[in-house]
Chain A
């Protein structure tokens, strides 16, 4: 494993722990994180979790190894061991135990900060002790503890192996020196351990540094993303003005034209102008939704009524080419943004209408979902259905399931728009299709409104 990758891996660990602890502030866009993640490392989340498990195994080994080592020491060189060790040893086991519980059961971050603060205290204490007590016994024990506890902060397999090797070398040499009664052996060991220990502590600044580097990178990507959004917004804005004469005057010209050939050509131009208008409108709506510069205006909506209204207005535009069936559920009041829900319904109805042959049925169902206080709204067409592959791509920008038609009736932004809106509400939207000619169902969830004044005020 290369060093760079290792650094990024460490940074990723920080990111992941931030993600899991819900205190993530930057970057807000999860996609940005994924982009960086995929760009700089080939480590999967599973691998990171596996490495976290390594950590725990090492910690357990340390917990067993530490008392055994001291018993061995006590047996082999009884003159070197002070009774103080018992007190510190027990304290150590309690401390490592607490850190272990924090690390595995509660919050990784809290666990880590806990270890760091204890490490700092013990180290300072140990250094003070070294100065006032030349025997160094307690100081040694404490430094041992800091070193073993550092194992908690290690992550990669190589780090762990080097760490274990060094611990063994230091301890074996300590034992040997003491057995041989080498003068000043304890001081030598103390310095060896301090050096090793401070090396490990260097890992922290590097880790913070790589995290900051990663953060600035993701910030840059976020800025680029915002710039791109701004450009789409500006472009679609400026395209609207030149579209005014085209959209308004083409029907006028068509009216005045009697020649069939000319009318045919005008119809083609008209279709394309309409397509361009849709594209500009949808692109603008989408870039607005993803800009993050908007908020939902929550209110309590009677879904049955809203759907009836939307269907009625949709039918009046569509003509009575299709039949609409509404399956209602009593008391389906939801807590959502009215205009945005209308936008979602309109988009879903347009999609359904496009894929339903003349005389077909479009069914809008408000389904019960007693769990999680949700209502599921489904729009089902009687079209030719979608394959699993098509469903997989359906929410991608500019994706059109029916490429062969090359049709200008859809711009491929309707579903991404719906997804943004539903996601902003904190819910999900998904597609189901039983197969060929079985139709397609798009479902999305909204939260049931409870009739308390508090919520209405929110």
Chain B
């Protein structure tokens, strides 16, 4: 199962990579929404762990673009949120988001959420 981490903070990217080192997940890290879209255009399909607060294209905007470009299919999006309350943008896109992980998180939380996402993805495309 492929996992893409979209976060501008390298601390977060490294941490998630380390936590998932011994897991069956195949990890790719990108620093921005644009890079994420590029990878998706190249055919990436899997779980996307997306940060919300990013410069230029933020998490919500990236999801909106994915929707417009028809890249949502075959992917599951899990948002990294620092706030417990999704703003207006978040409410509009709530249908496209499967999971939320609140920063900071423990290893257990991350694995549980990923398990949930991969189960869903597995069920969708048998």
Binding site for B on A (CB under 8 A): 237-238, 240-249, 251-252, 277, 281, 284-285, 288, 294
Q: Which 5 A-B pairs have the closest CB atoms?
A: A247-B104, A243-B104, A240-B82, A240-B103, A245-B15
| Among candidates B15, B84, B110, residue contacting A285 with C-beta atoms closer than 8 Å | B84
- CA–CA, A327 and B26, complex, Å: 50
Q: Give the bracket for the number of chain B residues in contact with chain A.
A: 10 to 19
Q: Is the CB of A243 within 8 A of B103?
A: yes
- CA–CA, A294 and B83, complex, Å: 14
Q: B6-14, B34-42, B67-75, B91-99: which one contacts chain A?
A: B6-14
Q: List 15 A-B contacts (CB under 8 A).
A: A237-B83, A241-B9, A241-B12, A244-B104, A245-B12, A247-B104, A247-B105, A248-B16, A248-B107, A252-B19, A252-B107, A281-B84, A285-B84, A288-B83, A288-B84
- CA–CA, A240 and B53, complex, Å: 12
- Shortest distance between the CB of A93 and any CB in chain B (Å): 62
Q: Of residues B15, B83, B104, which shows the largest number of chain A Cβ atoms within 10 Å of its Cβ?
A: B104
- CA–CA, A436 and B110, complex, Å: 44
Residues of A close to B107: CB separation below 8 A: 248, 251-252
- Shortest distance between the CB of B61 and any CB in chain A (Å): 18
Q: Is the CB of B11 within 8 A of A244?
A: yes
Known: A240-B103, A252-B18. A245 touches B83 (CB 8 A): no
- Kindly report which residue of chain B lies nearest to residue A273, judged by CB atoms: B104
Q: Is the CB of B11 within 8 A of A241?
A: yes
Q: Is the CB of A247 within 8 A of B106?
A: yes
Residues of B close to A288: CB separation below 8 A: 83-85
Q: Of residues A245, A277, A284, which shows the largest number of chain B Cβ atoms within 10 Å of its Cβ?
A: A245
- CA–CA, A245 and B15, complex, Å: 5
Q: Of residues A241, A246, A285, which shows the largest number of chain B Cβ atoms within 10 Å of its Cβ?
A: A241
| Among candidates B9, B16, B84, B110, residue contacting A284 with C-beta atoms closer than 8 Å | B84
Q: Is the CB of A249 within 8 A of B18?
A: yes
Residues of A close to B83: CB separation below 8 A: 237, 284, 288
Known pairs A244-B9, A249-B18, A252-B18. 8 more at Cβ < 8 A? Answer: A237-B83, A241-B12, A244-B15, A245-B12, A248-B16, A252-B19, A281-B84, A284-B84
- CA–CA, A85 and B126, complex, Å: 101
Q: Is the CB of B11 within 8 A of A251?
A: no
- CA–CA, A422 and B82, complex, Å: 25
Residues of A close to B85: CB separation below 8 A: 288, 294
Q: Is the CB of B105 within 8 A of A237?
A: no
- Kindly report which residue of chain B lies nearest to residue A288, judged by CB atoms: B85
Residues of B close to A247: CB separation below 8 A: 104-106
Known: A241-B9, A241-B12, A242-B11. A248 touches B84 (CB 8 A): no
- CA–CA, A252 and B23, complex, Å: 14
- Shortest distance between the CB of B27 and any CB in chain A (Å): 14
- CA–CA, A240 and B51, complex, Å: 12
Q: Mark B80-119, 1 if CB is under 8 A from A, else 0.
A: 0011110000000000000000011111001000000000
Q: In the complex, which residues 1-57 of chain B have their Cβ closer than 8 Å to any Cβ of chain A? A: 9, 11-12, 14-16, 18-19, 53
Residues of B close to A252: CB separation below 8 A: 18-19, 107
- CA–CA, A237 and B83, complex, Å: 7
Q: Is the CB of A241 within 8 A of B84?
A: no
- Kindly report which residue of chain A lies nearest to residue B51, judged by CB atoms: A241
Known: A241-B9, A252-B18. A246 touches B84 (CB 8 A): no
Residues of B close to A281: CB separation below 8 A: 84
Residues of A close to B11: CB separation below 8 A: 241-242, 244-245
- Shortest distance between the CB of B56 and any CB in chain A (Å): 17
Residues of B close to A240: CB separation below 8 A: 82, 103-104
Residues of B close to A243: CB separation below 8 A: 103-104
- Kindly report which residue of chain B lies nearest to residue A249, judged by CB atoms: B15
- Shortest distance between the CB of A336 and any CB in chain B (Å): 18
- Shortest distance between the CB of B85 and any CB in chain A (Å): 6
Residues of A close to B53: CB separation below 8 A: 237
